Structure 1
Amino acid sequence: MILTPEQHWVCPNCDHAEVTGGADNRFHPCPGLAGLLAPMVLEGTRVSVRAVLREDYVGREDVRYDGDGRPVMAVVTERDDGMDRVVFAPAARVTRG
């Protein structure tokens, strides 16, 4: 019999928690980050998860917006041993003229 250990996942920005039977990555739409898809971390991990707002002009590009209507560039996860970043790259629109 192969036993799979339980993994306890939590979100540092809201009260969402999950328990899984493996070492997979977990994401959820976080109300603490205005509905952005945010990573969950293993329970007991010291971490900061934050959204990075776009500071440049948004013209006719398709960009990601949070639940409050602000354009978001990335979600950053900072730990004691490093940093991860999910980048929401803008997409250009092509029109026929």
Structure 2
Amino acid sequence: MTRILDAERRWSCPNCTATAVTRGPGDRFHACTGLAGLLTPMVLDGVRCEVRAVLREDYVGGEDVRHDGDGRPVMAVTVTRDDGQDRVVYAPTAHVRRS
């Protein structure tokens, strides 16, 4: 008898050559060479989708924001499939000064 939680899942990335195999529930992320090193989600094999970086268009100032390998500030990565969208958001980090 095979337990459902041990089912093999095959993952790939439409922007680079990364692949992975996992068992059980969960998602898979990787540093994508096709998106300048951003931590992006992989998709299940056979799922037609587009994975793209969303550049930050507002003023960065002194915030700690995520940059891709080319130095551009990125605010999110969007996965668009035929049946919907998912988004990974890179929220800026706040600083506190002690006086």
TM-score between the two structures when normalised by the length of structure 1: 0.90
1:1-80 paired onto structure 2 within 5 Å: 1-3=1-3, 4-80=6-82
Listed as ranges, the gaps of 5+ residues in structure 2 are none
Structure 1 SS opposite 2:60: coil
Tell me, in whole angstroms, the C-alpha distance in 2 between the residues paired with 1:78 and 1:49.
7
Residue 96 (structure 1) shift:
4.0
Tell me, in whole angstroms, the C-alpha distance in 1 between the residues paired with 2:91 and 2:30.
19
Equivalence for 1:82: 84
What does the per-residue CA deviation read over 1:11-62, in whole Å, with 9 as the maximum and x for residues that have no partner? 0110011112223210001011111111111111001111001111110111
How many residue pairs align between the two structures? 97
TM-score between the two structures when normalised by the length of structure 2: 0.88
Alignment identity in percent? 66
What does the per-residue CA deviation read over 1:47-89, in whole Å, with 9 as the maximum and x for residues that have no partner? 1111001111110111111111110000101111111111111
The aligned amino acid for 2:51 is V
Structure 1 SS opposite 2:79: strand
